[in-house]
């Protein structure tokens, strides 16, 4: 598209302005996407790290996992549909380190080690963030729910629940701490069959039962959706203004026999060039930020996300430019011939 | 048979509830290779007739024939194709594409006419044509850096670069002084003879008529 390029070179300033606005908006969109994903990791990495499957909790708990308590017969029923099912519980709690410093965490205990690290009685495996706070393997920690101390047996990468780091403990320790001999939840990768008196959730549905999770994600996704709409409108408005100034030229080009589709292609090529350059810059910068962001900042941007939002921007740019291009279709050669011009 | 034939052309413009008939049943035949001048008072309908003939606006009544095609009976897309391949246009203003150099204006026309010329033929035709209008040395100039007369000469080069069969020109010399105007006219005349192009040209200028093979005068929407 030689004409498209020539025109952009001739009127660099307008296209640089349009390009920088698209760059800023796509950078903002990618940043917020990264933040949304980072927050969702921070909120629920424990669940997000699990494979796709079905979560079961007691119907009477009304979607609050911590009110759920599976009875023996319910556990057996789940085992009937999948004898490999994992049972687990989560409790928000705290512990004191050797210097009597309090730390809050989410205690997680499971019936087996299919999806969670294996842990011996008297031991605890902690999220990596505690290592950054100064805890080390072999340290002993205590808590008010039991007289027994727990020994730190190791650390795992990125295991968070409800914005708290996770500590995995054995089911024996869990039973004595919380005075229970059952689990809150069941998880099966093999079956999604309905079980009496239990409600079943897909991974996404289960994530949304975490109260802060859906609120956070919803508001961030709203912002992202708005940014997409704004960028589409920007494309439409900008190309509208640029096209209005070119209507005379378009009319003459039509008069000498240039196809309308050629004029559209010229505009699409320009939209594409601007968007791709802006997106490359925005992706590059947000990727750098992804790498160098402080570790405490929940920012997590994947290549997939960059590709998806780039595709969305290009699609939206296309729609915006095309809508504004309706005037190109309408312009009559006669209008242009009767006007002055170059 | 004539190359180009207008038959009972009528044009009515509607202004709200009133309407005004600008062209009253015009018949005109153009012989191949001839330069026909269209004159008449301002408002007599010359430009309207020319643009209708060139397929740039629709006629209210009548038929237009070019070679074996009836332009008034075929689709707009087919008319566009005829315009792109076989017609050339020179308007009162040059109407160059502001962001293309002189040479690129001509290249665009060759692309638009979808000619299957070799690279060498394209290059040599562009050179010849620009030389014939005296603009080869300005081949890389942008339109904004050309004078009115230079622009008009580029516009003429653009109108004939694709070797059209018909050339439609609406007062091509109106913006030029008499010396330039004579140059441009002998250029159009020469090219018309050399390439056997049939020309229909509107003009006000008495001096220009000497270049025409035939002069047709219009008055109040009729040929007299
Ligand atoms: N699109 C239009 N709508 C309404 N009236 C029009 C339109 N185009 C032309 N006319 C009218 O048609 C009449 C003839 O116009 P035209 O431009 O053909 O005259 P002309 O002979 O070329 O005049 P001039 O020598 O001044 O260029 C004029 O009265 C003009 O106002
Ligand atoms: Mg006129």
- Assess whether A95 and A136 both reside in one domain: yes
Out of A147, A172, A201, pick the residue that ends a domain: A201
Q: Is residue A174 part of a domain?
A: yes
For residue B58 and ligand 1, the question of a CB distance below 6 A is answered with no
ipTM, interface predicted TM-score of the complex: 0.90
Q: Which residues of B touch A (CB under 8 A)?
A: 51, 56-57, 80-81, 83-85, 87, 89, 91, 93-100, 104, 108-109, 112-113, 142-144, 151, 158, 170
Residue B22 Cα to ligand 1 middle (Å) = 8
For residue B143 and ligand 1, the question of a CB distance below 6 A is answered with no
Q: How confident is the model at residue B1 (pLDDT cuts 50, 70, 90)?
A: low
Q: How far B168 CA sits from the closest chain A CA (Å)? A: 11
User: Does residue A340 sit at the B interface (CB-CB below 8 Å)?
Assistant: yes
Burial of A265 per CB tally in 10 Å (0-12, 13-18, 19+): middle
**Domain encompassing residue A311:** 2-44+214-339
Cβ separation of B97 and A340 shorter than 8 Å? Answer: no
- Assess whether A137 and A162 both reside in one domain: yes
- Assess whether A156 and A83 both reside in one domain: yes
User: What's residue B104's pLDDT?
Assistant: 95
Condensed to tens digits (0 to 9), the pLDDT of residues A137-158 reads 999 998 888 888 899 999 999 8
What Å distances lie between residue A277 and A4, A248, B152, B192, CA to CA?
A: 15, 29, 38, 48
Residue B195 Cα to ligand 2 middle (Å) = 27
Structure tokens at A306: 């960059």
- Assess whether A39 and A75 both reside in one domain: no
What Å distances lie between residue A14 and A9, A19, A290, B160, CA to CA?
A: 10, 8, 31, 34
Long-range contacts of A270-273 (CB under 8 A, 24+ apart): A270/A4, A270/A7, A270/A8, A270/A15, A270/A321, A271/A235, A271/A239, A271/A317, A271/A318, A271/A320, A271/A321, A272/A314, A272/A317, A272/A318, A273/A4, A273/A5, A273/A8
Q: Which of A235-239, B187-191, B197-201, B206-210 has the highest mean pLDDT?
A: B197-201
- Assess whether A272 and A291 both reside in one domain: yes
Rounded CA separation B8/B62 (Å):
5
DSSP state of A259: -
- Assess whether A28 and A65 both reside in one domain: no
For residue B46 and ligand 1, the question of a CB distance below 6 A is answered with yes
Ligand located closest to B219 CA: 1
Q: What angle do CA B128, B130, B136 make, to 5 degrees?
A: 105
- Report yes or no on whether pTM surpasses 0.90: no
Condensed to tens digits (0 to 9), the pLDDT of residues A184-227 reads 999 999 888 888 889 999 999 999 998 889 888 899 889 989 98
- Burial code (b: 16+ CB inside 10 Å, e: under 16) for B135-150 equals bbebbebbbeebeebb
CATH 3.90.550.10 holds for B2-223: no
Q: Is the pLDDT of residue A91 over 70?
A: yes
Report the mean per-residue pLDDT for chain B: 92
**Pairing mode of beta strands B198-202, B166-170:** parallel
Which residues in chain A touch residue B104, judged by CB atoms under 8 angstroms apart?
A: 2, 6
State which of B46, B201, B203, B205 you would mutate to test the pocket of ligand 1, scoring each by most atoms of that ligand within 8 A of its C-beta.
Answer: B46
- Assess whether A76 and A157 both reside in one domain: yes
Q: How far A230 CA sits from the closest chain B CA (Å)? A: 30
Contacts of A224 (CB under 8 A, 6+ apart): A29, A32, A33, A36
- Assess whether A38 and A57 both reside in one domain: no
Instruction: Give the pLDDT mean for B126-138.
Output: 92
Q: How confident is the model at residue A233 (pLDDT cuts 50, 70, 90)?
A: confident
């Amino acid at each position: 598209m030689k004409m498209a390029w020539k025109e952009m070179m001739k009127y660099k300033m307008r296209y640089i302005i349009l390009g920088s606005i698209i760059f800023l908006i796509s950078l903002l969109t990618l940043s917020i996407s990264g933040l949304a994903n980072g927050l969702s990791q921070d909120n629920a990495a424990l669940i997000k790290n699990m494979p796709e499957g079905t979560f079961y909790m007691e119907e009477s708990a009304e979607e609050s996992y911590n009110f759920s308590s599976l009875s023996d017969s319910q556990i057996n029923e789940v085992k009937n549909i999948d004898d490999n099912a994992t049972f687990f519980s989560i409790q928000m709690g705290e512990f004191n380190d050797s210097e009597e410093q309090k730390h809050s965490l989410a205690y997680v205990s499971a019936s087996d080690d299919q999806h969670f690290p294996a842990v011996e009685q008297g031991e605890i495996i902690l999220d990596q963030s505690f290592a950054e706070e100064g805890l080390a393997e072999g340290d002993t920690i205590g808590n008010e729910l039991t007289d027994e101390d727990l020994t730190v047996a190791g650390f795992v990468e990125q295991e968070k629940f409800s914005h708290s780091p996770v500590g995995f403990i054995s089911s024996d320790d869990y039973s004595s701490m919380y005075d229970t001999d059952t689990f809150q939840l069941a998880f099966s990768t093999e079956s999604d069959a309905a079980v009496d008196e239990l409600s079943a959730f897909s991974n996404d549905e289960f994530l949304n039962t975490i109260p802060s999770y859906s609120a956070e994600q919803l508001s961030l996704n709203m912002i992202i959706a708005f940014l997409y709409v704004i960028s589409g409108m920007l494309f439409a408005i900008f190309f509208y203004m640029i096209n209005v100034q070119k209507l005379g030229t378009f009319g003459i080009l039509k008069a000498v026999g240039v196809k309308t589709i050629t004029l559209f292609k010229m505009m699409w090529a320009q939209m594409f060039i601007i968007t791709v350059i802006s997106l490359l810059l925005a992706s590059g910068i947000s990727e750098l930020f992804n790498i160098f962001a402080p570790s405490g900042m929940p920012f997590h941007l994947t290549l997939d996300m960059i590709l998806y939002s780039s595709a969305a921007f290009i699609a939206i740019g296309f729609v915006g430019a095309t809508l504004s291009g309706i005037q190109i279709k309408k312009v009559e050669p006669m209008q242009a011939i009767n006007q002055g011009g170059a | 048979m004539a190359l180009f034939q207008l038959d009972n052309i009528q044009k009515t413009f509607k202004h709200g509830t009133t309407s005004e008939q600008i062209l009253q049943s015009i018949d005109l035949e153009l012989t191949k290779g001839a330069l026909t001048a269209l004159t008449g008072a301002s408002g007599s309908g010359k430009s309207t007739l020319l643009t209708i003939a060139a397929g740039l606006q629709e006629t209210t009544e009548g038929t237009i024939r070019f070679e074996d095609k009836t332009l008034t009976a075929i689709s707009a897309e087919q008319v566009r194709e005829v315009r792109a391949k076989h017609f050339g246009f020179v308007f009162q203003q040059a109407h160059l594409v502001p962001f293309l150099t002189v040479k690129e204006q001509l290249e665009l026309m060759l692309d638009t006419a979808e000619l299957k010329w070799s690279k060498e033929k394209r290059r040599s035709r562009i050179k010849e044509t620009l030389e014939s209008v005296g603009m080869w040395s300005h081949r890389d100039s942008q339109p904004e850096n050309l004078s009115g007369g230079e622009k008009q000469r580029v516009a003429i080069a653009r109108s004939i670069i694709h070797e059209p069969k018909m050339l439609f020109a609406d007062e091509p010399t109106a913006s030029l002084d008499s010396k330039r105007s004579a140059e441009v006219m002998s250029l159009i005349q020469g090219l018309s003879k050399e390439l056997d192009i049939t020309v229909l040209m509107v003009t006000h200028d008495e001096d220009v008529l000497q270049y025409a093979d035939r002069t047709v005068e219009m008055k109040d929407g009729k040929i007299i």
